[in-house]
A and B are shown apart, each in its own frame.
Chain A
Amino acid sequence: QVQLQESGPGLVKPSGTLSLTCAVSGGSISSSNWWSWIRQPPGKGLEWIAEIYHSGSTNYNPSLKSRVTISVDKSKNTFSLKLSSVTAADTAVYYCARNDQLWWYFDYWGQGTLVTVSS
């Protein structure tokens, strides 16, 4: 059973950089799956941010592309998200998830971590 766990600071200052890591257990990040970050502002809907393959290939949501970097560490079985120049609008629960390898739906999710942008 694949499990994902997000970690990182819960509070980030405006104009700073949000950094999160997702640890994958029960499976290899080098499998034939892509891996995604998704966020959900409090009381609102879901927004896909970016995805990465173990080779390092990436795909970003154009709405965030200029501020987002996604990376993978195969030795640690983790992947990470960096979001720069954050504002209060970036306050959200951030989820990591696994993309199904055929049809790209999100079959496994982390529990999510709330990141608040505030001074």
Chain B
Amino acid sequence: EIVLTQSPGTLSLSPGERATLSCRASQSVSSSYLAWYQQKPGQAPRLLIYGASSRATGIPDRFSGSGSGTDFTLTISRLEPEDFAVFYCQQSGSSPYTFGQGTKLEIK
């Protein structure tokens, strides 16, 4: 099983700042099979990024993904108030499909 470790656990930033979230895999993941999701309280996760760097439909361009192999990054260039939530990375290249433990992005 591929273990995904996200850091930091909590990130405290202010609107307008840049957020950088990390996802590290226990073994190499094909970039095609790495996705990022955003989850707000009481809601289902929402797909943000797939294929490590492709934005899902309707996702603003302030969200970007990068990385390869075992190290992947989600960047939010300029935080908007609605961006504060929990973010998960997920791999689907190897079954069982696994998620990271999440990074909580909170307002400073």
Residues of A participating in the B interface, judged by any CB pair closer than 8 Å: 36, 45-48, 59, 61-63, 95, 99-100, 102-107, 109-112
Contact = CB atoms under 8 A, between A and B. Distances in A.
A99 B96 contact: no
Given A105-B35, A106-B90, A107-B56, A47 B99 contact: yes
Interface string B21-59: 000000000001101010000011111001100001000
B39 to A, nearest CB: 8
Contacts of B88: 45-46
A46 B44 CA distance: 11
Given A45-B101, A45-B102, A109-B45, 6 more contacts: A46-B88, A48-B99, A61-B96, A99-B92, A106-B35, A106-B37
A93 B7 CA distance: 24
B44 A109 contact: yes
A99 B97 CA distance: 11
A59 B94 CA distance: 11
Interface residues of B, number: 25
Residue of A61, A62, A106 with most partner-chain B CB within 10 A = A106
Interface in B51-108: 51, 56, 88, 90, 92-93, 95-102
Interface of B: 1, 32-33, 35, 37, 43-47, 50-51, 56, 88, 90, 92-93, 95-102
B47 A63 contact: no
Contact of B33 (A48, A103, A111): A103
A112 B44 contact: yes
B44 A63 contact: no
What 8 A-B pairs are tightest by C-beta distance, nearest first? Answer: A104-B92, A105-B35, A109-B44, A61-B96, A46-B99, A48-B97, A105-B50, A45-B101
